Amino acid sequence: MRILVTGGAGFIGSEYVRMLLGVPGGTAEGVPALEPTAVTVLDALTYSGNLANLDPVRDDPRLRFIHGDIRHPETVEEAVAGHDVIVHFAAESHVDRSITGAAPFVTTNVLGTQTLLDAALHHRVTRFVHVSTDEVYGSIDTGSWTEDWPLAPNSPYSASKAGSDLLALAYHRTHGLDVVVTRCSNNYGPYQYPEKLVPLFVTNLLDGHTVPLYGDGGNIRDWLHVHDHCRGIALVQQKGRAGEVYHIGGGTELTNSELTGRLLDACDAGWERVVPVPDRKGHDRRYSLDISKINSELGYAPSITLDAGLSDTVHWYRDNRAWWEPLKAAAR
Ligand SMILES: NC(=O)c1ccc[n+]([C@@H]2O[C@H](COP(=O)([O-])OP(=O)(O)OC[C@H]3O[C@@H](n4cnc5c(N)ncnc54)[C@H](O)[C@@H]3O)[C@@H](O)[C@H]2O)c1
């Protein structure tokens, strides 16, 4: 099976590539054997894309890297040719950036997805896995979303992801393209660009700096280790039903304050290092996914507890300063 992974130099996409290629002693446990004969990464290497994320599999002869943009039809046509499956991660992914500048979110997330879908049709790709987010549903005070819940995104990021989800599903209904959509909760783990909450807070704390906490700290998220997300995607790629949406979550729901407390403990720091900052515009209060569909149909359950996952993650950032220090220096 020849697999094209878009955004495979980013945080989650690179975990998927490392998992597909079975890094020794690494992340292959409990993952369905997809047995790729070739894995091609198509990535524009934006600020969050980083070839170093693929270092552990760099010498695998099955891996090929294409530096290209999913918004460019010619690049995409060439990249898609000869592949059986597309797993589509490439996106602008940070809500805060979408608030200050929405244009790349619309062009990459919506138009880029449409460009890929057209190429998938043209090259008769046998499965298109579209990786999406719980943020497309908006915010929920109590209970949990099921896959048939109406979409009500609140940020330009989530609106652009909702647009791309609907396009992907429309290509299934209109053209019969074999599309599956996954919607996942908040991920954490190694190789996450240090602008998102967990790596930003951990690296700031390790450097002796303060951390910014939005609003009253009461926003609730479900935190899932990136490896559990990728295991879920692999199951959907292998056994999901065409035209269906699958939730991947089931981590631990915490307020941002509770998560901050855990990160402070893990980094031996106190609350004096936390600086409250004005709330994010349109900040969703709570996300919560019902994962009974993927659990009953595909046998998915998360395998990494938040305690173990956060502890490993803090250790990884502590041990891999050479990975994140240049990224933070470049962002200054
Ligand atoms: N991070 C999360 O918690 C989370 C949760 C649920 C779903 N998702 C989804 O998972 C996917 C991956 O997220 P991530 O956190 O790994 O993001 P990321 O920002 O770390 O990685 C995105 C990757 O896409 C590449 N990219 C961006 N624009 C591109 C373009 N025009 N052409 C080609 N490549 C391009 C970047 O270079 C980068 O390598 C996204 O689709 C995101 O919406 C993320």
- Can you give the pLDDT of all 332 residues of the chain as single tens digits? 999 999 999 999 999 999 999 864 444 556 677 889 999 999 999 999 999 999 999 999 999 999 999 999 999 999 999 999 999 999 999 999 999 999 999 999 999 999 999 999 999 999 999 999 999 999 999 999 999 999 999 999 999 999 999 999 999 999 999 999 999 999 999 999 999 999 999 999 999 999 999 999 999 999 999 999 999 999 999 999 999 999 999 889 999 999 999 999 999 999 999 999 998 898 999 999 999 999 999 999 999 999 999 999 999 999 999 999 999 999 98
Residue 43 is encoded by which pair of tokens? 């990535």
Residue of 93, 98, 227, 327 with the most ligand 1 atoms within 8 Å of its CB, for mutation: 93
Cα 199 to averaged position of ligand 1 atoms, centre (Å)? 15
Kindly give the number of the ligand 1 atom that is closest to the alpha carbon of 188. Answer: 3
Cα 64 to averaged position of ligand 1 atoms, centre (Å)? 19
Residue 123 is encoded by which pair of tokens? 């090259």
The pLDDT of residue 27: 45
Q: List beta partners, residue 224.
A: 187
- CATH number reported for the structural domain that contains residue 184 in this entry: 3.40.50.720
Confirm whether 218 is domain-assigned: no
DSSP string, 88-131: E--S---HHHHHH--HHIIIIIIIIHHHHHHHHHHTT-SEEEEE
The pLDDT of residue 26: 44
The pLDDT of residue 30: 60
Cα 89 to averaged position of ligand 1 atoms, centre (Å)? 5
Residue of 89, 115, 131, 160 with the most ligand 1 atoms within 8 Å of its CB, for mutation: 89
Confirm whether 26 is domain-assigned: yes
Cα 11 to averaged position of ligand 1 atoms, centre (Å)? 7
Confirm whether 106 is domain-assigned: yes
Confirm whether 330 is domain-assigned: no
DSSP string, 122-156: HTT-SEEEEEEEGGGG---SSS-B-TTSPP---SH
| Residue-number span of the structural domain to which 139 is assigned | 2-193+225-251+286-303
Residue 262 is encoded by which pair of tokens? 């855990």
The pLDDT of residue 25: 40
The reply to whether ligand 1 has any atom less than 6 angstroms from the CB of 7 is yes
Tell me which H or E stretch contains 10: none
The set of catalytic residues is 134-135, 157
Confirm whether 310 is domain-assigned: no
The reply to whether ligand 1 has any atom less than 6 angstroms from the CB of 186 is yes
Q: pTM higher than 0.85 for the full model?
A: yes
The reply to whether ligand 1 has any atom less than 6 angstroms from the CB of 250 is no
Kindly give the number of the ligand 1 atom that is closest to the alpha carbon of 192. Answer: 20
Confirm whether 276 is domain-assigned: no
- What distance in Å separates the CA atoms of residue 171 and residue 125, rounded to the nearest whole number? 12
Residue 154 is encoded by which pair of tokens? 């609140």
Residue nearest to atom 32 of ligand 1 (CA): 69
The number of domains in the chain is: 1
Maximum separation of any 2 CA atoms in the chain, in Å? 57
The pLDDT of residue 305: 95
Q: Are 32 and 1 in contact (CB under 8 A)?
A: no
Residues whose CB is less than 8 angstroms from the CB of residue 71 and which lie 6 or more positions away in sequence, other chains included: 107, 108, 111, 112, 115
- What distance in Å separates the CA atoms of residue 304 and residue 226, rounded to the nearest whole number? 10
Q: How are strands ordered across the β-sheet holding 220-225? A: 186-188, 220-225, 252-255
Confirm whether 35 is domain-assigned: yes
Confirm whether 320 is domain-assigned: no
